[in-house]
Structure 1
Amino acid sequence: MSAHFKETMANMPQRLQSLQSVQVGPYLRNIRLPQLPQYSQLPTTDLQGKASKLHSRNPKLVIAFLVLVFIFFWKNIIYDVGTHFVGEYKPAVDVIIDDKNPIRNRTLGFQDIFVLSLPERTDRRKPLLAGAQATDLNVTVIDAIRDRQIPVADYPEWWGTNNWVPKEGELGCLMSHLRTWKKIINENITSALILESDVDWDMRIKDSMVGLGEGVKAIADWPFEPPSHPRDFSKEVSPYGDRWDLVWLGHCGSYANGNGRIYAFNDTSAPDEEHAWSFGGGPAEGHRPPGTRIVYQFHKSVCTTGYAISNQGARKFEKLFRQANSPIDLKMWDHCVNDPELACLGVWPQIISMAESKTNIKHTEGGQAFGHEVTEERIVAGKSIQISARVNANAGTAGDPSKWIKEFENDGKKADKK
């Protein structure tokens, strides 16, 4: 049991005095605790360790007391149980591999997969398209634009204001994404996965996306509106459900809202903590059970490596970005966290990840990539990707799972590459 929970319980007598004014309302309606059968076998004691006399009291008073205690401390209790018993009680969901699941189609259950790529960056397009072919994905490349191609009249209204000086490439990046959102709106595209050109994914991506889909439905649809639990998702357009705006599944760092919900699903392609990668932070310790990916309401995400956006999400973001005054990822993060009208979800570890190349865009000057210089142009796996689509497509091993090249084993060791 955590020190935080112990301290909470120790201070309970003093805090219970404030419960007299608490109204028993709808707070319990949507709360579901994991089943912990052995807890019913624990001896009932009072806070000083003496035998409890509650059993001799009026049963209605006992129940009312327990309900009030739960209302007052439910966040602490759920956090403590969820953090320390995830492995023992197996809260993670198994992914059902069904080839008929629409998420396993050539666009991962979205209407389109768009890749934003500068026309001259064939060094990025070729390995990406090869990886898409290796995993049977149909992607549409959209030409990205540079800063100098954008008329000043088309700049976002607040661009370069508030003592912020844009860096080279930030405007072109933002406007390339904004143009894609407008395409989604104008062509009434139901949903799309938007990728940047330096990305990679695991050969088993379709399995991961099925688990993600279940997580998105579970998180975005909370709280359920009685008596519609569970909802009939078969009547909805998207296999991910229709109540989300943005799913940030490719990033350089992301962590969950501490007061939000977390959905874990078992995924053999998910890297262990030794190989999970981020330069922008990750979920708190205990949020992710071993061998899983988690879906959550995010509190932070950086890098627009890859994200899914719904039609309604594109309409909301396009309107908000008419007055953008910061890099696209920071602005998206800001809106998702602070705008109650947006339903934004994160994934950890990321399913889509960036891969380094000698010609990295100027993040830290020239061929610098997150602290070290890339001096050789070669096909390398994306960060935290175990069985790289790019690498296996380049090596000609994508078609035979027995020959797949692994970057690492999920036991803290590097894979023995042949």
Structure 2
Amino acid sequence: MLARLGGRYKVVVLVASITLFFLFPPFRILFLETHRFLRHTNAFPSHIDYLRAKLTFTKTPLSDSIYQVQNETLGFEEIYLISLPERTDKQDAFAIQAAFSNISYTLVDGVHGDEVSTKALPHTMSQKATIIGCWRAHLNIYQKMVHENVSTALIFEDDADWDVALKHQLVQFARASRFIGGIEDDHVASSPYGDDWDVLWLGHCGTWVLPDDEHRFFVIPHDPTVQPPRLREENVAEPNMSHWRTGHDNGDQTRVVFRSEGAVCTAAYAISQKGARKALYSLSMIPYNAPVDWGIANLCKSKQYDFTCISSWPQLIGVSRPTSHIAKWSDVERGTDFEDEIREGGSHHLMYSVRQNIPEWLNGKTIFRSSHSDVGPPLPIDDIGKATGYAETLTSEQMGSYM
């Protein structure tokens, strides 16, 4: 008798659940959202302190979407790595860096410029072969995105390096991008970085603020991942940071994110579907003659097609160089002369480089060292990525001579 009642009870519960699911939309939405939330939180890598990261801004019922930046593709639909097929040394290094950070990516072959048919070039193109090869490799990705309708992609070059706390840093960058695009933290956008952007310039060697009547900045003070000014090297240009020269560190470890007039170098940047379409047309289908980074920068500066670029200064992603002949360092700028003396390698633009901390990771350590020990002490990832930002809007009058 009891067994029969138990079976009947289970049937009644099942029927009631199905009825609620199909007849009451609020219940169905709650069920589906709960399922998505559980699936989303389970996707986070174990070394990211999800609960700590949530404390970086006021939580709202819809704000969890911003934490997609901590998944295996950093909140983008795809991540692509450009590398010449023969540069297996760089691919080895990138693979282990990505494993450390639990990043998933697709390898895309780089292009030898002398193998690009003259017929395939804009008729005005007059660049050396290495520049043409780099240009074509990036355009191949834009073409792939447009053809496959990829919504957003992060593009790495194979010498890219980043801080061990990158996923913590990207929570703040996503907040910044949404603020600059006029999206609140609690708004569910198609991308955790917001909807109103074409390019997010995360890794560069110089950037400019876009002149405007109103300047939106997202300011991240006291950031352990920011190199002090005296250590910032190999940058073509940089914003004037005088406005933020305050506090106990004189603003030396302050990062700002802003609407950008462009940047130089393409160690890492994200591009949206609409950005890929605009770039593919502008850098290939009409008269064009420039390296790929200058082509993108010109779109940012001219505001043609409402091309929206957002930059971080200092940059979030840098480059690494192995200890070797300098011919190994770049496939664009360096030749093949291996008669030069061996140069000491290192990572540029970074404090707590993934590349330089590979030995710590392989030895199971959870405290990571800075490339500049006189400025940055050894720290765990949570402390390295602890900085929290705030929004600030300045008028042209307030800006004065700062930019």
- Cα offset, 1:269, TM superposition: 1.7
SS state at 2:111 partner: coil
| TM-score relative to the length of structure 1 | 0.66
In the alignment, which of 147, 165, 170 is matched to residue 113 of structure 2?
Answer: 147
Residue of structure 2 in register with 1:361 after alignment: 330
Structure 2: 5+ residue stretches without partners: 1-54, 245-250, 380-403
Using the TM superposition, name which of 94-103 and 312-321 deviates more. Answer: 94-103
Structure 2 distance, partners of 1:196, 1:334, is 21
Task: Give the Cα separation in 2 of the matches to 1:291 and 1:179.
Answer: 37
Partner of 1:279, secondary structure, is coil
Q: What is the one-letter code of the residue matched to 2:321?
A: E
- 1:385 Cα deviation from its structure 2 partner: 1.2
- Deviation by residue 1:178-199 (Cα, 9 ceiling, x = unmatched): 0001111111111010010111
Secondary structure of 1:330's counterpart equals helix
Q: Quick check: 1:381–1:388 contact (8 Å CA) kept in 2?
A: no
1:318 pairs, out of 262, 280, 299, with: 280
User: Equivalent pairs: percent with the same residue?
Assistant: 28
CA distance in 2, matches of 1:107, 1:362: 26
Indicate whether 1:387 and 2:352 are aligned: yes
Q: Please give the secondary structure, in 2, of the residue aligned with 1:114.
A: strand
1:198 corresponds to 2:159: yes
Q: Within the alignment, does 1:177 sit opposite 2:177 as a pair?
A: no
| Cα separation, 2, equivalents of 1:388 and 1:349 | 14
SS at match of 1:382: strand
1:333-412 equivalences in 2 (<5 Å): 333-340=297-304, 341-357=306-322, 358=325, 359-361=328-330, 365-366=334-335, 375-376=341-342, 380-394=345-359, 396-397=361-362, 399-402=364-367, 404-409=368-373, 411=375
**Alpha carbons of 1:243 and 1:385: their partners in 2 closer, same or farther (altered >3 Å)?**
same
| Superposed displacement of residue 274, structure 1 | 2.6
* Equivalent in the alignment of 2:40: none
Counterpart Cα distance in 2 of 1:290 and 1:113: 32
Deviations 1:59-115 (A, max 9, x none): xxxxxxxxxxxxxxxxxxxxxxxxxxxxxxxxxxx9449998111111111111111
Equivalent residues, number: 303
Q: 1:285 Cα shift?
A: 3.1
Task: Give the direction of change, closer, same or farther, for the CA distance of 1:292–1:230 in structure 2 (3 Å limit).
Answer: same
Cα distance change on mapping 1:181 and 1:137 into 2, 3 Å? same
| Cα distance change on mapping 1:272 and 1:410 into 2, 3 Å | farther
Residue of 183, 199, 208 corresponding to 2:169: 208
**Residues 294-309 of structure 1 correspond to what in structure 2 (within 5 A)?**
294-309=256-271
Question: What's the RMSD between the two structures over aligned residues?
Answer: 2.9
Equivalent position SS for 2:192 = coil
> Alpha-carbon deviations, 1:165-189, whole Å to 9, x = none?
x123011100100000111111111
Report the alpha carbon displacement of residue 362 of structure 1 after superposing the two structures with TM: 5.6
Separation in 1 of the partners of 2:378 and 2:340?
A: 22
Note if contact 1:200-1:388 (Cα within 8 Å) is conserved in structure 2.
Answer: yes
* 1:249-283 residue CA offsets vs partner (Å, 9 max, x unmatched): 10011122354432112433222223233430211
Q: Which blocks of at least 5 consecutive residues in structure 1 are unaligned?
A: 1-93, 161-165, 222-228
Report what 1:83 is aligned to.
Answer: none
Partner-residue secondary structure (3-state), 1:317? helix
1:142 is paired with a residue of what secondary structure? Answer: strand
Are the counterparts in 1 of residues 207 and 237 from structure 2 also a CA contact under 8 Å? yes
Is contact 2:100–2:361 with CA below 8 Å preserved after alignment?
Answer: no
**Residues of 2 paired with 1:365 and 1:195: CA distance?**
19
Residue 190 of structure 2 corresponds to: 237
Q: Which amino acid aligns with 1:263?
A: F
1:329 matched to which residue of 2?
Answer: 293
The 1:208/1:374 distance shift into structure 2, 3 A limit, reads farther
User: Contact between 1:257 and 1:298, CA under 8 Å: does it hold in 2?
Assistant: yes
Distance in 2 between residues matched to 1:355 and 1:189, nearest whole Å = 29
Following the alignment from structure 2 to structure 1, what is the Cα–Cα distance between the partners of residues 364 and 57? 23
Q: Quote the offset at 1:333 in angstroms.
A: 0.8
TM-score normalised to the size of structure 2? 0.68
Following superposition of structure 1 onto structure 2, how do residues 29-178 of structure 1 map, counting pairs within 5 Å? 95-96=56-57, 101-160=67-126, 166-178=127-139
Secondary structure in 1 matching 2:347: coil
Change (3 A) 1:290 1:360: closer
Question: Are the structure 2 counterparts of residues 407 and 316 from structure 1 closer, same or farther at C-alpha, using a change threshold of 3 Å?
Answer: same
